[in-house]
Amino acid sequence: MFAAENGLKGDPRLEAISRAIRVVPHFPKPGIMFQDITTLLLDHKAFKDTVEIFVDRYRDMDISVVAGVEARGFMFGPSIALAIGAKFVPLRKPRKLPGEVISEEYVLEYGVDCLQMHVGAVQPGERAIVIDDLVATGGTLSAAIKLLERAGAEVVECGCVIGLPETKGQCRLNGKPLYILVGPRDVDDCC
């Protein structure tokens, strides 16, 4: 669900967040309209508003784990975790975490990838949210959910800054709610 459909309709922060995201045509390959959040991170107010909207949503949900998907989920997740009094758990690509890990593979458009988490990072019964910058097909978020649930966590929701409405990402999330701040920008919207 988009934030504008859930009590934030007309909220000027959403428009400012959307405007702060740069669109890079044909990156990383022809036909892709890359939604670049690095410009959002450069805009102190828009970055702060992004984190605050997530914090306002999750503050009273008894969340004990904020899991961030590598790498851009790491940019929002720790701030959200600190503000709501939860721990931050990084979900990383293979061979990035020292020590014992559990893994979850997932299918990409052109291959297979994997997320890993430290064994013991999440305890059975902990309530978790998953944070990432963008949801497209939902494959990465689905793998994150499976990984956390295998460790015994209750995944409450996934939160993303940007959601691509034309992909059916939420269908792959096994019924878990998906909270999205803004839709993708077009090149015409940003120049």
Residues noted as catalytic: 72, 109
Q: Which tokens go with 158?
A: 């996934």
Rg, C-alpha atoms of the chain: 16
Cβ neighbours of residue 5 closer than 8 Å, sequence gap 6 or more: none
Cα–Cα dist 42/48, whole Å: 10
Q: What is the DSSP letter of 23?
A: E
Cα–Cα dist 153/65, whole Å: 9
